[in-house]
Amino acid sequence: MKRWICGLAATAVMASGIHAEQAVEDELQASSEEHMREELGVNPITSPSIAELLKQLEVFRPVPVKAIEAADHSASFTNRMQTALHFGSLVADGFLLTIAERPQDVQNIGRELIRQSRALGVGERLTTRSKSLLELSDKGDWVGMRAELVKTQEDVEQTMMELHDEEMAHMVSLGGWLRGFQLGAINTSERYTPAKAEILGQVRVMDYFLDRLDTLNPRLKATEFVTSFTDRIKKIRLVAIEAQGSPPSPEQVSRMRQFADEAERIATTRVDASGKLAPAP
């Protein structure tokens, strides 16, 4: 009996030790990830949450479906920055398509997300997400699909952080914000309300992404592509500042829409190896 009790005690101690080791390992992993996020400038204090930004798109109804249909979702690019921006744009389009309840279109977006994630070198983690998105689409679970798209964006960000691909992690988020902003501006310019305009006028979000653009590799930052793209984001910010704490006016929303259209057009324009924009057709 004594031997049995001793054995039981030893087992309990061992189990306790394993549990403690696991707890320490989990804590170290969480601490490491948090440190990495802070190192890359993506933490809750400095970084706007992609979930928060996407959730705000729900107010922009009816969804400007024609603008989404006009986009070339299957576009491919020869550089990682445009690929990253395009990936974020796809997430925003997919999110709005769930609001418009367009299941087939959402499935098409899901397939493109897989293809683009492979181009970014982070495709492995997206396979399960894509399957889940298709299953939720078949069920008509719009809330579930929106949650899955947010997780897709977060998975890509996390994978890029693990690969220490700081710059492109930020560009994925920027692409999602810009596309959501552009589509929101289209809706607001056609059906203006102060509540919608107020969401568009969030200068802190623009400041964050401009700061991220400013930290790009100097050679990349000096290219015509990046300077032109950054210029349009700055122009959007200047219009938002004009509102001086009030929701942007209909005229200001119209101007922000114009600059967002231009920024999105630049983001999808072909560029050569030196970052020079292809001439307009």
Token pair 């490491």 is found at: 32
Domain ranges of the chain: 46-267
Average pLDDT, the chain: 85
CA distance 145 to 153: 12
User: Percentage of residues in the chain with pLDDT exceeding 90?
Assistant: 66
Q: Which two tokens stand for residue 21?
A: 């080791």
Single out the residue of 18, 16, 17, 11 nearest to residue 3, CA to CA: 11
CA distance 209 to 234: 10
Q: Which two tokens stand for residue 263?
A: 């920024």
pTM: 0.83
Kindly state the average pLDDT of the residues 27-39.
Answer: 41
The answer to whether residue 23 scores a pLDDT higher than 50 is no
pLDDT top residue among 14 and 151: 151
The answer to whether residue 5 scores a pLDDT higher than 70 is no
Preceding omega of 62 cis (within 30 degrees of 0) = yes
* Residue 143: predicted pLDDT: 94
pLDDT bracket for residue 98 (50, 70, 90): very high
3-state secondary structure of 131: helix
The answer to whether residue 246 scores a pLDDT higher than 60 is yes
* Residue 15: predicted pLDDT: 42
